[in-house]
A and B are shown apart, each in its own frame.
Chain A
Amino acid sequence: MAQRVGIVAVAQTKFEEKPGLHIGELLYQASRDVMKQTGLEFKDDGTGIDSTIASGYDLMSGPGGAYMFLGYIVGAWQREDERVIEDGSMAVYYGAAQILSGHADVALVVGYSKETQIDKNLIECLSMDQVYQRRIGLDFVSSAALQAMRYTTKYKITPEQLAKVVVKSRKNAKNNPYAYCCDTITVKDVLRSTMLCDPIRVQEAKPTPVDGACALILANEEKAKKLTKKPVWITGMSSCYDHHELGYRDLANCDSLVTAASKAYKMAGITNPLKEFDVAEISEHYAYQEPLWCEGLGLCGKGEGGKLTDSGKTEMGGELPVNPSGGVLSGIPHCLAGMHSVVECALQLRGEADKRQVKGAKKALAHGVDGPAGQLHCVITLEN
């Protein structure tokens, strides 16, 4: 990248069911928080926030054009205000690109999601193509299950290995005051939980419904240095699409993640991700995704994701702690997972992650995913 983009402030709300709260209140809380941290306001003379980028599925907030009535909360009044209809990591990606383009000096990136007001599965089903896959009733859960079955059978990943991912996630979540689900759980509990969609068990899927919002402020190098003493730099980023039809890909691989990661690593000059990164936040909506995405991210070889989990390298205190925050399996709403990863990574690199802090973290890896069975991946590398 020609110049660096800095994250100068991050915020998140507590993730929980908030049925009584208006969706705008979530946006307001998160965005006000980052504005307070930096002292920035919405101004049109170039001394405040120049641009807002939101992320969130529109159909989740209301039947059509819902964001049209929410934009003003994050400063849309006669200003740049755009919306990415993908996972939040893509909004960060676009925000950084906007700053690199010189079109904005300071950008506010917000993500919001209110699962309590909607059937999440139905909205996800509406992402499938209408003639074939939606007609037979496929949604993101069953797509993921098809991928999980393919992955676990091809590479002999055991149910215990996947259960360990859940146990680790919930254990880590205990240290995270924002996490939704941090109950003590054992491998046995996970394996005994109800089957949701073979081979995915209820405990191996992301807890739902959860509400929450995240916000970050991005700035160009010059302004970032002025705005904070502890800027976190985005060093590499990329997204990549895969086939939509599940049958068109080999579900045991995640080719698009491999491509996205290699592009991002190249920008950041990373050659050995497992060694060079100090912390990683990965969007694992289901337990099998953590080992699979780890393979795609080059943290281990193909088919070795299970062994990586067994080795303890991804635990807190291991070589590369994965999801010290508890990750999506501790309950992060739909569409927010990737942005939450970036927020958590930034906290780690600023040394502000409190009890979940990875000591001396210098380089971090954030990942977001959208689409059925990981169709669209986004990888962002960060440095302090």
Chain B
Amino acid sequence: MTPQIKKSVADIPEEPIVVEVQAHSNFLVTVGNTGNKFLTEIRDNKTIMGIKCPQCKKVYVPPRTHCPTCFTRMSEWVKLSGKGTLETYTVVRYQEPYMPKEPPYAYGVIKLDGADTGIVHLIGGVDLSKIKVGMKIEPVFKEQREGSILDIDYFKPIG
């Protein structure tokens, strides 16, 4: 090894640097059999299905395989009309890249008739300032459906 070079480091600046790093990823999200049934019913039959717990007798939408309160496996499907009541809503007025639409647009928690839980989805087909808690709403399906929750375009007020 050559003798150690002792160079001064005093001339090297210290001002902070900010580096921009982009992390890209592309996950393959598995829906699972339960989710698959729910999504294909929406795609093929424009039908929203709920799943019923044999113990609690509660109907859950969106569905899951196990009851979140008693951890029983659920398999009984319940056909819902799709109509429901708006429990709460919000109008999004800020923009983020992951959003499905240009703001402003509305989200709502919709308690579907025949289900014990609500589902969160987009609210549309109405002047955003006229959305009211408690209004009756129904789903509007997309023409081209591919098997995703966004096959429901939005929920709109009935009448």
CB pair A150–B109 under 8 Å, yes or no, is yes
CB pair B120–A125 under 8 Å, yes or no, is no
| A243 within 8 Å of B (CB atoms) | yes
Which residue of chain A lies nearest to B96 when distances are taken between CB atoms in the complex?
A121
Answer whether A153 and B18 are a contact pair too, CB < 8 Å, given A135-B149, A141-B94, A142-B107: no
CB pair B120–A149 under 8 Å, yes or no, is no
| A137 within 8 Å of B (CB atoms) | yes
Q: How far is the CA of A261 from the CA of B61 in the complex (A)?
A: 29
Residues of A within 8 A of B61 (CB): 247
CB pair A149–B89 under 8 Å, yes or no, is yes
| B87 within 8 Å of A (CB atoms) | yes
Contact with A along B101-119 (1 / 0, CB 8 A): 1000001111100000111
Q: How far is the CA of A246 from the CA of B61 in the complex (A)?
A: 11
Residues of B within 8 A of A148 (CB): 90
Q: How far is the CA of A21 from the CA of B93 in the complex (A)?
A: 32
CB pair A248–B89 under 8 Å, yes or no, is no
| B68 within 8 Å of A (CB atoms) | yes
Chain B: minimal CB distance from A285 (Å)? 15
Q: Which chain B residues numbered 95 to 152 have a C-beta less than 8 Å away from chain A?
A: 96-101, 107-111, 117-122, 133, 148-150
Contact with B along A118-159 (1 / 0, CB 8 A): 010110010000111111111101100111111001000000
| B21 within 8 Å of A (CB atoms) | yes
| A39 within 8 Å of B (CB atoms) | no
Answer whether A248 and B107 are a contact pair too, CB < 8 Å, given A149-B133, A195-B93: no
Chain A: minimal CB distance from B82 (Å)? 15
Q: How far is the CA of A175 from the CA of B131 in the complex (A)?
A: 42
Residues of B within 8 A of A146 (CB): 88-90, 107-109, 120
| A63 within 8 Å of B (CB atoms) | yes
Which residue of chain B lies nearest to A248 when distances are taken between CB atoms in the complex?
B117
Q: How far is the CA of A153 from the CA of B18 in the complex (A)?
A: 45
CB pair B93–A153 under 8 Å, yes or no, is no
Residues of A within 8 A of B80 (CB): none
Which residue of chain B lies nearest to A149 when distances are taken between CB atoms in the complex?
B88
Q: State which of A62, A134, A142 has its C-beta within 8 Å of the C-beta of B92.
A: A142
Residues of B within 8 A of A64 (CB): 23
| B10 within 8 Å of A (CB atoms) | no
Q: State which of A62, A135, A137, A150 has its C-beta within 8 Å of the C-beta of B88.
A: A150
Residues of B within 8 A of A63 (CB): 21, 23
Chain A: minimal CB distance from B101 (Å)? 8
Residues of B within 8 A of A245 (CB): 62, 117, 119-120
Q: State which of A62, A153, A196 has its C-beta within 8 Å of the C-beta of B133.
A: A153
Chain A: minimal CB distance from B131 (Å)? 9
| A102 within 8 Å of B (CB atoms) | no
Per CB-CB distance, the 4 closest pairs between chain A and chain B, nearest first, are: A247-B118, A63-B23, A20-B16, A150-B88
Q: List 18 A-B contacts (CB under 8 A).
A: A19-B18, A20-B18, A125-B98, A131-B35, A134-B98, A136-B107, A136-B121, A136-B149, A149-B89, A150-B88, A198-B89, A199-B90, A246-B109, A246-B118, A246-B120, A247-B87, A247-B109, A248-B60
17 extra A-B contacts, CB within 8 A, seeds A62-B21, A146-B108:
A20-B18, A121-B96, A131-B39, A132-B120, A136-B120, A142-B107, A146-B107, A149-B88, A150-B109, A153-B133, A197-B90, A243-B68, A245-B62, A245-B120, A247-B109, A247-B110, A248-B60
